[in-house]
Chains A and B, each alone.
Chain A
Amino acid sequence: MSLVERSHGIAMHRINAMVLRYWYLLVSSWPRMLELVYWPALQIITWGFLQNYISQNAGFFAQAGGTLIGAVILWDILFRGQLGFSISFLEEMWARNLGNLMMSPLKPIEFLISLMIMSLIRLAIGIVPMVILAMFFNFNLFAFGLPLIAFFCNLIFTSWSLGIFVSGLVLRYGLGAESFVWTLMFGLMPLACVYYPVSVLPAWLQYIAWALPPTYVFEGMRALLFDHTFRADLMLTALAINVVLFIVSFAIFLGLLNSARRAGSLISGGE
Chain B
Amino acid sequence: MTIEDTKSGHAATVDRGASAAIDVAHLVKLYKTNRAVDDISFKIARGSITGLLGGNGAGKTTTIAMIMGLTLPTSGKVSVLGCAMPAQSAEVLGRMNFESPYVDMPMRLTVRQNLTVFGKLYAVSDLKGRIAQLAEELDLTDFLDRASGKLSAGQKTRVALAKALINAPELLLLDEPTASLDPDTADWIRRHIETYRRSNNATILLASHNMLEVERLCDRVIIMKKGRIEDDDSPEQILLRYNRTTLEDVFLDVARGRDWEQAP
Binary interface profile of B, 99-111, with partner A (CB < 8 Å = 1, else 0)?
0101111111110
CA distance A5 to B126 in the complex (A): 11
A: contact size bracket: 35 or more
Q: Is there an interface contact between B163 and A6, defined as CB atoms closer than 8 Å?
A: no
Tell me, in angstroms, the Cα distance from A266 to B72 when the chains sit together.
10
Residues of B within 8 A of A262 (CB): 71-72
Contact residue range for chain B? Answer: 35 or more
B116 touching A267, Cβ below 8 Å: no
Q: Are B125 and A4 in contact (CB under 8 A)?
A: yes
| Chain B residues, CB < 8 A from A263 | 31
Q: Is the CB of A3 within 8 A of B124?
A: yes
Check B86 for interface membership: any CB of A closer than 8 A: yes
Which of the candidate stretches A91-99, A124-132, A186-194 sits at the interface with the other chain?
A: A91-99
Does A24 sit at the interface, judged by CB under 8 A?
yes
Q: In the complex, what residues of A have CB within 8 A of residue B109's CB?
A: 21, 24-25, 28
Min distance, Cβ B134 to any Cβ of chain A, angstroms: 11
Cβ–Cβ < 8 Å partners of B71 in chain A: 261-262, 264, 266-267
With both beta carbons as reference points, the residue of chain A lying nearest to B73 in the complex is identified as A262
Taking a contact as CB atoms under 8 Å apart, the answer to whether B105 and A5 are in contact is no
A24 to B147 Cα, complex, angstroms: 11
Residues of A within 8 A of B84 (CB): none
Known: A95-B107, A96-B104, A100-B103. A14 touches B97 (CB 8 A): no
Q: Are A103 and B68 in contact (CB under 8 A)?
A: yes
B118 in the interface (beta carbon within 8 A) = yes
| Measured CA separation A18–B117 after assembly (Å) | 7
One of B47-55, B87-95, B210-218, B224-232 at the interface: B87-95
Quick check: is A7 within 8 A (CB to CB) of the other chain? yes
Q: Are A104 and B103 in contact (CB under 8 A)?
A: no
Are B61 and A2 in touch, CB under 8 angstroms? no
Q: Judging by beta carbons under 8 Å apart, are B100 and A105 in contact?
A: no
23 A-B pairs in the complex with CB atoms less than 8 angstroms apart: A3-B125, A3-B126, A6-B123, A7-B123, A8-B90, A13-B120, A13-B123, A17-B121, A18-B121, A20-B116, A24-B109, A24-B113, A25-B108, A100-B163, A103-B68, A105-B94, A105-B122, A105-B123, A106-B121, A261-B86, A264-B70, A266-B65, A268-B102
